[in-house]
Structures are given as structure tokens and as C-alpha cells.
């Protein structure tokens, strides 16, 4: 969505094909038309008061000056402990964990740290929108492969699979980095253990590093487990692991996350990080460290979000949308192509615009996660919302 085409910069744009992100555009459209915003991924309910108290206490305890560049020690130790408990991998809090200004800054910084001009970086589309521009800023070449859409007898997408053959052909001696994302935004697809084993085989004779975007790590449903790159020792040895407290603790506006990576990778990461943001808000880090020490705050999350997912899906079942599976994340994808309305033939961006303006529910076109024009008739709703918000949205969607 390039809104800047007609502006004539005085210098060559570093990102000529980039406009404002689809999430920002759809949120603005939702506000303008007073639509229920199920577009951009963020909760509409408050975070735990205890977390706010923890941050407040840190401020009152005068933790208000620069923290260490790599992040507050207490928080790095708690993260290391959490990863050890969940994924059985030992990251040294002093040399292997860095606190970042959210997942996006961690991703850009990791890419700038390891990708040199001419290096190839493999991404799997639909891909979160920050990967490609980050690679381009580093001078890297994006090699995009696509998740395989599995279609039912009606020709509608029923699920997605990892494109192993395309990945095998995409990797070569110029591949510096491969970016994976599990649970996956926007499809909700999750990687299982066998997938990680297969990935390990795929990269074993290459010098490709891996960036594993796991910001939805605590949102995996139906009793399944999240399989972190950290849980696979041979992969962990060549990977940057990205996570986000915004997603986990319902505080997307705080912009605090972290990157865990072996010491050699973290050393290079920190060289870039220190001249990028230098460091991240001190009281937030102390508050998060205290809050993170109680594991129930993330262990309860699958149950919490699964209830929302099930409520939302039950309501969508009464519409003409076809539901795609949602094993993880707080996104529900639906196929609108068989709705019995003329707008069912719209492309995804136009359908979302119409849905926002005329029906009063904002969503995100999945086509925005692809570089080349790709239309599958699939849009993404965010269900990280209060039940009453979801109920109101469902009421509108059930009119279609
Ligand atoms: N991760 C969020 C999403 O996919 C958006 C974050 C953003 O707007 N940059 O909706």
C-alpha cells in the first residue's frame, strides 16, 4: 500500500516500494468509520494491574536512569530461566540475551547485524511485513517462498504446509539467513518437532543462520506445545530467537521484547543494538522481571486465548465465511469467496475496506503479507478482544 508514490523525494528512497503498514492504515480506517477493529493485532482489554504495580514500584524505587545497554540483569535472568523451564535450553543471561524495544526492533537489528549487501535471505510468505524492508535496508536480497495452501473440494484454502521443496531449492551458498515464524502470523500455523528436525537437516551443510520469530509463543491451543527453535540444540546454535512481552502480557504499547542467541551472534547483535536504540525503558524492564518470575502469568495464556478463539469461531460458524484452522496466535483467518454477496468477488484489500466502511468490522487482507500480487480470498481477524467486542463484531458479520 504505497501512499507516497506522488511525493518526489530529494534523494533516492531506501525503500521505494514501501508505504505505511497495512496495520496502521486499517486501524486509521476503523477509527474513521467507527468500525470494530479486528484488524491490527492488539488486545482491547487491560493488562494485569499487578504488572502496572510492578512497573510503578520500579519507578518509585528510582529505577529511572539508563539501564545497561544489553538490558536489566534481573530481566535477562528471568528470561533465561523461562527458556530453560519451557524449552530446556540454557542461554547465558549475560552474553546471550538482549532486551529490545519490541520484536520488530529485535528483527531489524538481527538482520542488520548479520546480513551484508548481496547476501540472500529466505522468507516464507505470507510473511510479517517488517521482514522484507529490514532485509532490503541491510542490502540483502529477499528470496521468498510460499507456504503451500491446501485446498478442499470447493477450491477453498483449508490449511497451510511448510514448502519443503521450495525451501530446499532456495538455500544455497549465498544464503545468510532464513526467517521462520511460529506460531505464524497471519495463518496461525505452528511448526512441530518433526518440522524442526527437517529444518535442521536442510541447513546442516549450509552456513545459513536462522531468525525464529516466536512472538506468539504462548498462544498455542488444543493442548499442543510450542516448539521453540531453542528446544532444538543444533538449530539453537545458529539462531536468533525473537520474543515480545507486548504480545504475552497484553502491553503492545510498551514495546519491550528480547533476542536470545549464542554468544557469537549476540556479540554482533549488540554492536548494532547499542547504536540503534542503545537500550530500553528501565522501569518497564524491572516491572517485567518481577512479573515474569511468576510462571502462571504465561502458562495461563493458551487457556485464556483458546476461550476467545472458540467463542469467535462458534460465532463465525453461523456466517458464510469458511474458517481456516487456528492452532496458534490470536488471529483467525477466513475465506470469504463463497459468501452469497457481490463483494465476495472483491480482492482482499477491497473486501477489507468494504467490510470496515459498510459492515463496521475491520480486518487485514492476507495479500498484504505477500510481495507479488496474491489473492486467495482470505482475510485475517484478530480475536484478542473482550467477549463483548467479539460478540458485537459477530452480530455484524452474521448479517452478511
Ligand atoms: N503484529 C501486529 C499485527 O500483525 C501489528 C504490529 C504493527 O502494527 N506494527 O497485526
Which of 26, 41, 217, 242 is the pocket-test mutation for ligand 1 (most atoms within 8 Å of CB)?
Answer: 41
Residue 217: the pLDDT is 98
How close is the Cα of 40 to the center of ligand 1, in Å? 5
How close is the Cα of 291 to the center of ligand 1, in Å? 24
Angstrom distance (rounded) from CA 106 to CA 355: 33
Alpha helices, H only, the chain? 22-32, 49-60, 73-87, 102-114, 131-137, 164-170, 193-203, 233-236, 245-248, 263-273, 282-292, 296-299, 301-316, 348-354, 387-397
Which of 18, 19, 23, 352 is the pocket-test mutation for ligand 1 (most atoms within 8 Å of CB)?
Answer: 23
**What is the sign of the dihedral through the CA atoms of 214, 217, 222 and 223?**
positive
CA-closest residue to ligand 1 atom 1: 41
CA-closest residue to ligand 1 atom 4: 41
Residue identified by cell 527458556 is 83
Q: Are 109 and 252 in contact (CB under 8 A)?
A: no
Closest ligand 1 atom number to CA of residue 128: 4
10 contacts: CB under 8 Å, gap ≥ 6: none
Residue 92: the pLDDT is 98
How close is the Cα of 130 to the center of ligand 1, in Å? 9
CATH 3.90.1150.10 positions along the chain are: 4-47+299-397
CATH 3.40.640.10 positions along the chain are: 49-294
Spell out the CATH class of 4-47+299-397. Answer: alpha beta
Q: How many residues does the chain have?
A: 400
Angstrom distance (rounded) from CA 343 to CA 221: 32
β-bridge partners, 362:
37
Residue 10: the pLDDT is 84
Residue 53: the pLDDT is 98
As given in the structure block, the three cell numbers for residue 31 are: 477509527
CA-closest residue to ligand 1 atom 8: 23
Phi, psi of 131 (to 5 degrees): -65, -55
Spell out the CATH class of 49-294. Answer: alpha beta
CA-closest residue to ligand 1 atom 3: 41
Residue 8: the pLDDT is 65
The series of mean pLDDT values per 10 residues for the chain, 400 residues long, is 58 91 96 97 97 98 98 98 98 98 98 98 97 98 94 82 97 97 97 97 97 98 97 98 97 98 98 97 98 96 98 97 96 95 97 98 97 93 98 97
Residue identified by cell 478442499 is 152
CA-closest residue to ligand 1 atom 7: 23
Residue identified by cell 482470505 is 378
Residue 318 Cα distances to 306, 397, 400, angstroms = 19, 9, 10
Closest ligand 1 atom number to CA of residue 130: 9
Angstrom distance (rounded) from CA 129 to CA 390: 25
How close is the Cα of 209 to the center of ligand 1, in Å? 25
Amino acid at each position: 500500500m504505497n501512499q507516497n508514490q506522488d511525493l518526489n523525494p530529494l534523494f533516492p528512497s531506501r525503500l521505494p516500494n514501501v508505504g505505511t503498514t497495512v496495520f496502521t492504515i486499517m486501524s486509521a480506517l476503523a477509527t474513521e468509520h467507527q468500525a470494530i477493529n479486528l484488524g491490527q493485532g492488539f488486545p482491547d482489554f487491560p493488562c494485569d494491574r499487578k504488572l502496572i504495580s510492578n512497573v510503578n514500584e520500579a519507578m518509585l524505587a528510582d529505577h529511572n536512569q539508563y539501564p545497561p545497554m544489553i538490558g536489566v540483569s534481573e530481566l535477562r535472568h528471568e528470561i533465561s530461566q523461562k527458556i530453560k523451564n519451557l524449552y530446556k535450553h540454557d542461554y547465558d543471561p549475560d552474553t546471550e540475551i538482549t532486551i529490545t524495544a519490541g520484536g520488530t526492533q529485535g528483527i531489524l537489528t538481527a538482520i542488520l547485524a548479520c546480513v551484508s549487501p548481496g547476501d540472500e535471505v529466505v522468507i516464507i510468505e505470507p510473511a510479517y511485513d517488517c521482514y522484507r524492508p529490514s532485509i532490503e535496508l541491510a542490502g540483502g536480497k529477499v528470496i521468498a517462498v510460499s507456504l503451500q495452501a491446501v485446498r478442499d473440494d470447493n477450491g477453498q484454502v483449508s490449511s497451510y504446509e511448510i514448502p519443503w521443496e521450495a525451501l530446499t531449492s532456495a538455500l544455497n551458498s549465498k544464503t545468510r539467513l532464513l526467517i521462520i515464524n511460529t506460531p505464524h502470523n497471519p495463518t496461525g500455523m505452528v511448526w512441530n518437532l518433526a518440522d524442526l528436525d527437517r529444518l535442521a537437516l536442510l541447513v546442516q551443510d549450509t552456513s545459513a543462520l536462522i531468525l525464529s520469530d516466536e512472538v506468539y509463543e504462548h498462544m498455542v491451543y488444543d493442548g499442543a506445545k510450542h516448539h521453540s527453535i531453542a528446544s532444538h540444540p543444533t538449530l539453537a546454535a545458529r539462531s536468533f530467537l525473537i520474543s515480545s512481552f507486548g504480545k504475552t502480557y497484553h502491553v503492545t504499547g510498551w514495546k519491550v521484547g528480547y533476542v536470545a542467541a549464542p554468544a557469537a551472534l549476540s556479540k554482533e547483535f549488540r554492536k548494532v543494538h547499542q547504536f540503534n536504540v542503545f537500550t530500553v525503558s528501565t522501569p518497564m524492564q524491572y516491572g517485567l522481571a518481577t512479573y515474569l518470575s511468576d510462571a502462571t502469568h504465561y502458562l495461563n495464556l493458551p487457556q485464556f486465548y483458546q476461550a476467545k478463539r472458540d467463542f469467535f469461531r462458534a460465532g463465525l460458524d453461523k456466517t458464510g465465511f469458511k474458517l481456516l484452522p487456528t492452532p496458534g496466535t490470536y488471529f483467525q483467518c477466513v475465506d470469504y469467496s463463497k459468501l452469497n454477496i457481490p463483494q465476495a468477488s472483491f480482492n482482499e484489500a477491497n473486501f477489507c475496506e468494504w467490510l470496515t466502511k459498510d459492515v463496521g468490522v475491520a480486518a487485514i487482507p492476507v495479500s498484504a503479507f505477500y510481495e507479488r500480487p496474491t489473492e486467495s480470498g482470505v482475510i485475517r481477524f484478530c480475536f484478542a478482544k473482550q467477549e463483548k467486542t467479539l460478540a458485537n463484531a459477530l452480530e455484524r458479520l452474521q448479517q452478511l
